[in-house]
Each structure stands twice: as structure tokens, then as C-alpha cells.
Structure 1
Amino acid sequence: MVNSQDLAEELWAMKLGLKLLQERAKIGSYWWPYISNLPETYSVPIFFPGEDIKNLQYAPLLHQVNKRCRFLLDFEQEVRHILEDLKPDDHPFGGQSVDASSLGWGMSAVSSRAFRLHGKMLPDGTHNYFPMMLPLIDMCNHSFNPNSEIVQQQDAGNLKIPIKVVAAKVIKQNDPLLLNYGCLNNDLFLLDYGFVIHSNPYDCIELRYDGALLDAASMAAGVSSPSFSAPAPWQEDILSQLNFYGETPLLKVSLGGPELVDGRFLAALRVLLASDMDTVHKHDLNTLASLSAEAPLGIANEVAAFRTIIALCVIALGHFPTKIMEDESLLKKGVSGSTELAIQFRMQKKYMIIDVMRDLTRRVKLFSSKEEERAQG
């Protein structure tokens, strides 16, 4: 028997997807009117042609798409092995074959439509969460400025959990009902929902903390004496506290989104560009990791850190094979739906990187003007 409980927790969409496939195969299923109205295809990247997966041009997302595709192919073999010796009456899918395509359909139907609701209260006072498909409610589109919200009754003992959509503001006749699917980046919106948000305030890019790359970026930015590849012992100690050094370092950092610069990354840059150990030790890690903490190690240090990040952004832009103008030209020519989504995705990444550069450049100019005023005063 195919047991969805054997799947890892992060594959919750596949767990519910198996149940959806089972109901789709069941004659006279109570859920058939709902299932029959679900889309036959989904615009998520696992269904993109190979060329359009490449057209995404963004390694972290390519990794996730390939990971999901590999999972579906491997899981297809596992399911096929389990089902091949079952008697017809024991077959959970009514004798129908279940391949990677149908598994992908079930997983995508769930990831693009299910809501994660809170379940029983845990001993620490928090709730566990479980996915649930909500007919009609799942027809609401996404907005970061929603006019509606889902209300779930707080009753852990009630198996029939009352769930309703209520207006969060005045809604005019014929206006669509909009829910906030979550403060997600475009990677997750495209992977799970099959669309891209333009000017997404939560979009970001992932980078890998790499001393040699940072040395190159700082030199390109005109920052003197970069020491990213060979930090002093006291700097290494702080990097270990930031989890950039050690047996299991966390090297993934991000730029963009509400934080603009990953706090750990900003702290590391400030420390590595500092020469005075005593000055650094006057501040805790939270202060060093905060962008709102205005130049805790001095204006020169802050400007050097920002210029290094700007140079990294230039390098990141250079990793995209196409420029924004080329992307715009391709869209004007007319392309397939999946190609258009791939181009829109990579364009939004590029725009986001440029926005980070503009923000940091503005900060550099502001600090530089303050430094000039101080020198003149």
C-alpha cells in the first residue's frame, strides 16, 4: 500500500496529492465535482520544457526544479513497485497507472491550491499545521494587499473545523476576492503556484559566502586591503559565531527582500573590513547584523561594506546570460507561456538586484556627504 505517512514532512504537497489522485480514480467520489474542475495542467516549472527550465537562468531555482523532478521520477518507480503485485480490489488508484506526470499533477494541484491550517495545540503553546484543500476558497487570487482573509475556528476538539473567508475591508461589487498566500519570494511563487509577482518586495537572490569572491568584489569596488580570504584569528572567531566557519557552516546568504542585506552577511563584512578588534568587540552581533544600526564601526567601514555588496551585485548580474533589454525584446516577439514565465522570473531577479544596488548607492552617497561635512567642519 502507498503510505503517504512515509513521505518526509517537507513533501506535504505530495502526501495530499496522493489522496487527490486516489479520489480522482474512485468511481462516485464525493469530491469528483470539485476534482473535475481542477486544471488539467499547471504552469509550474516541473512541467516546463527542458529549454525553458534553462531559461530561468538562476541556479538556486534550477536546483529546486531538478530536485523535484528527480523526486517524481524516483517516486514513480517506488509507487510502481508497490502497486504491481496488488490485487485489483486493493489497488488504491482503481487499477490506474500512476506515473511521474500524474504524481506531478497531484503535487502541483495541492501546492497551488491548498492552505496550511493550524491543528492541535502543542505543549509549548504553538500549533502544528496541516494542509487542506478548500473548494471555492481556493479560487481566491493572491495579493500582498488582500481584501479578504481566512478565519479558522479555534476548536481543537471539533473534527469539522469551521473555516470561512471574511472581508478585511469594503469590497465593491464585481471585485475579486484576494487573499495573501504568504510573504514569499518569486522562487516559491513560481515553484508552487506557477506565477511571478512583479516588484515583489519579498524577492531576493541567494549567494554563497566565498572569501575569494568577496576579495575580488572588494578590490573591484576599490576597497583597500581586503582580508576575506585570510581573516585574522579574532575575525575568524566572530565568523564562527556567525556560522560562516566551523564544521557545518551555513554559507548561504541573501540580498533583497525586506532585510535588503542578510544580517549575518552584513555583520561578516563589517567585521572583516575592520582593523580595530577593540572597536568591533564593543558591539554585539545583533548590532553588527543590523542595517538600521547606522555605521556601528564608522562611516569608512560602512561605505566599504556597501561598495563590496554593490560589486557583488554587479558580479551576480553578470552571471545571467541575457540582459534585461534582450529579455524585453524576446517578450515583445511573442513566446510560449512557459518561456514567458521563465523570462519574467529572471527579469524580476535582475530588477531586484538593481534595486539593491540603487538603495546601497544612495546610502553610500549619504554617508560620503556626511563624511565631507564632518571634514569641512
Structure 2
Amino acid sequence: MKLGLKLLQERAKVGSFWWPYISNLPETYTVPIFFSGEDIKNLQYAPLLYQVNKRCRFLLEFEQEVKNVLKNLKPSEHPFGGQDVDASSLGWAMSAVSSRAFRLYGKKLPNGTHSDIPMMLPLIDMCNHSFNPNARILQEQDAGNPKMLIKVVAEREIKQSDPLLLNYGCLSNDFFLLDYGFVIPSNPYDHIELKYDGALMDAASMAAGVSSPNFSSPAPWQQEILFQLNLDGEVPNLKVTIGGPELVEGRLLGALRVLLSNDREMVQRYDLSVLKSLSAEGPLGVANEVAAFRTIIALCVIALGHFPTKIMDDESLLKQGVSVSTELAIQFRMQKKSVIIDVMRDLTKRVKLLLSKETTTA
């Protein structure tokens, strides 16, 4: 937020060197903190709702902190020229920074690495995003060097009138919407978050017809592996993901393979990295692999059921014409549903292939 406060300070300063740049920044941003309450609900995705509410709470609390600091200052000492700094202006500054700043090299650390520092780069921040960029940012010298130079260099031949495209990062749509105010269709890095929970795994395995008592009551040796996967213990990380480059997060896949197996000796033959790898085809046998995949497919069905609307309903709403924020919310939830459906299709193909191989072998 430090850069955001500096932005507000320069915006309030008469004759600021940066005024030509600041005056051309958008007056409003299409990030969810500015959505109406109804459109926040329209996102229909609990992890993002949590992040939006968290940011809104932060802005309201930070507003009070700023006001407490400013209330006793003399007009000549006021860093914002006497202008009121409220949650709305703080939200504008935060959105301007999150959507336009780039993280570049800061000071060189004793270990030889560099700290990251956010910088707002006039003109450069007009470049749009692409996972297949035609340009990149090149930074010469450290941030503290007065001769530091930042430039955009072409990665390939760029034709006249073609837009300059930078890769903002291999991010999920959660981050693109939260920080930049847009959604990437068919984003290969998009995923859904689930909470690893024994009761949920039980429900999924029962729905898949592969019920196992080990989900709620794992054997001690299975519990030890869950601990190694950081899915058990005093401070476990229970957030797991489906979708994205991994398709299924390795920790979730490894846990399912282990919990659906009663063969301790076979499990212990394999390194944890193998048990977590989707490319390791059926390390614990075809039946185990099919059971794990079917459980994940059932998890997807459960996750899909948490959305109040279907993709067809969403498409129909978009055709009716809606506000920009409503459109973004609908596009976001459509992409999440598409991620789930794509994972289900992929795993269903894998199950069929495994069963066909088993039949051929038999």
C-alpha cells in the first residue's frame, strides 16, 4: 500500500511532476472491491468472495488508521494537501497499483539475490497481457541506481499497428480479476480450490462407488504420509487445487492413492514424488488409480453442484445484456465451471484408457 499512498500524495500535490501520468489513469476500475453487493454474490465462488471481503475490510480498517494519523496534523504538514483520504480513494490507489505496477528488481541483498519492488511505469503499463507475449520488460541496473533503465524489448518481429503484449504472470483468473479487473477465457493456469476434508473425501468416494474407511480414519502409516503431504498435523495446509497445469494437485492425488490402498509395503516402495505425480501411471495398480480418479471426478461433481447456476443459464444472462461488473462476475464463474468440467473429461478419458488396458492385459 506504500506505493498507493505515494500515488495519492502525488495526485494531491499541486504541480506534481507525475500529474500528466496520474491524470490519465482510469477514474474507476473493474476490480471486485468496487462491485455491488449483488455482483460480489454473482461470483458464486467462496475463495474469491473471501479475498474480496478481506480486501474491503482492510480498506475500511486502513481508512481509520490513516484518519487517526492525519487528524492532528497542521495543514502545512498534511501529506495529501488537506484532501480527505477514505476507503474509496484508498481503493482507487490500491487498484491503480495492482493493475498497473510491475514487480522489478530492488536492492541487491547480501546473498546476491534482489528484493522485489513494485514500480509504476508510464507508457509501459499500457501494454496488454498475453500468455504468448511479443515483448518483455528489461531492467538495467538496480532500483537504487540513478542510471537505472527500464525498457520494453521485442521477443519477435512485431508488425506495425500490432499491440505490444507482455505476460503479467502465469496466474489464475482469481488474481486476474482481483488485481487487473479482467477474466482470461480458457486460462490454462486457472483452477478451483477445495478444502481437504475427510468427510468430503468420504462423500466423494461413496458417490464414486469406491468407499473407503481410511478417509475418516486413516491407519497410522497412512496418517504419517498425510503429515508428509502437509494434510495432517498441527498446522496443515488443507487447501488443494484441481485444474491448471497439474490438472490435480499432487498432494491431493498422493493422498487419494495412499488412502485407497491397504498395501503398506507397496506404497512404501515409492517415493512421495512418484505418488504425487499424475504422469506416474498407476504406481499402486490399475484398480487403485481408477478409484482415485473416480473419487476426484466425484469431487468435481460436488464442486460443480455448489454453483447455483449452470453454464447455459450464465450464457443466457449474458445475451440479455448486463452491466460490466455483472458480466465479469458471470464470465468468472463460467470459467470456473469450465475448469471443473475439463478436469472431469480428462480424468474420465484416463479411467477408460486404464480399464481398456486392464481388459487387454487380462
TM-score normalised to the size of structure 2?
0.98
Contact 1:147 1:177 in 2 (8 A): yes
Q: Does 1:275 align with 2:262?
A: yes
Structure 1 residues 58 and 157: alpha-carbon distance in aligned structure 2, compared to 1, 3 A threshold: closer
Tell me how far apart the structure 1 counterparts of residues 32 and 65 of structure 2 sit (CA, whole Å). 23
Please tell me the root mean square deviation across aligned C-alpha atoms, in Å: 1.0
Match of 1:321 in 2: 308
- 1:233-263 Cα offsets, whole Å, 9 max, x none, are 1101111111111111110000011011111
Tell me how far apart the structure 2 counterparts of residues 142 and 249 of structure 1 sit (CA, whole Å). 35
Matches within 5 A, 1:334-373: 334-373=321-360
- 1:1-35 Cα offsets, whole Å, 9 max, x none, are xxxxxxxxxxxxx2110000000000000000000
- 1:27-82 Cα offsets, whole Å, 9 max, x none, are 00000000000000000000000000000000000000000000000111111111
Aligned-residue offset at 1:124: 3.1
Q: Count how many residue pairs are aligned between Structure 1 and Structure 2.
A: 362
Which range is displaced more, 38-47 or 227-236?
Answer: 227-236
Find the partner of 1:59 among 46, 49, 67. Answer: 46
Match of 1:89 in 2: 76
- 1:127-158 Cα offsets, whole Å, 9 max, x none, are 21100000000000000000110011144662
Aligned-residue offset at 1:125: 3.1
Tell me how far apart the structure 2 counterparts of residues 214 and 162 of structure 1 sit (CA, whole Å). 53
Find the partner of 1:36 among 13, 16, 23. Answer: 23
Matches within 5 A, 1:1-377: 14-155=1-142, 158-375=145-362
The letter for the 1-side match of 2:254 is A
The letter for the 2-side match of 1:136 is L
Q: SS at 2:280's partner residue?
A: coil
The letter for the 2-side match of 1:320 is F
Tell me how far apart the structure 2 counterparts of residues 160 and 194 of structure 1 sit (CA, whole Å). 34
Q: SS at 1:340's partner residue?
A: helix
- 1:154-178 Cα offsets, whole Å, 9 max, x none, are 4466234100001111111110000
The letter for the 2-side match of 1:17 is G
Which range is displaced more, 61-70 or 286-295?
Answer: 286-295
Aligned-residue offset at 1:85: 0.9
Contact 1:111 1:193 in 2 (8 A): yes
Contact 1:204 1:349 in 2 (8 A): yes
- 1:203-261 Cα offsets, whole Å, 9 max, x none, are 00000001111111011111143420111111011111111111111100000110111
Tell me how far apart the structure 1 counterparts of residues 4 and 99 of structure 2 sit (CA, whole Å). 11
Contact 1:219 1:226 in 2 (8 A): no
Tell me how far apart the structure 2 counterparts of residues 317 and 104 of structure 1 sit (CA, whole Å). 32
Contact 1:53 1:62 in 2 (8 A): yes
The letter for the 1-side match of 2:207 is A
Which range is displaced more, 22-31 or 221-230?
Answer: 221-230
Tell me how far apart the structure 2 counterparts of residues 78 and 239 of structure 1 sit (CA, whole Å). 42
Which consecutive residues of structure 1, in runs of 5 or more, have no partner in the other structure? 1-13
- 1:68-100 Cα offsets, whole Å, 9 max, x none, are 000000111111111111000100000000000
The letter for the 2-side match of 1:200 is N
Tell me how far apart the structure 2 counterparts of residues 99 and 157 of structure 1 sit (CA, whole Å). 32
Tell me how far apart the structure 1 counterparts of residues 317 and 147 of structure 2 sit (CA, whole Å). 50
Tell me how far apart the structure 1 counterparts of residues 144 and 316 of structure 2 sit (CA, whole Å). 57
Tell me how far apart the structure 2 counterparts of residues 15 and 206 of structure 1 sit (CA, whole Å). 30
- 1:303-324 Cα offsets, whole Å, 9 max, x none, are 1000000000000000001111
Contact 1:218 1:311 in 2 (8 A): yes
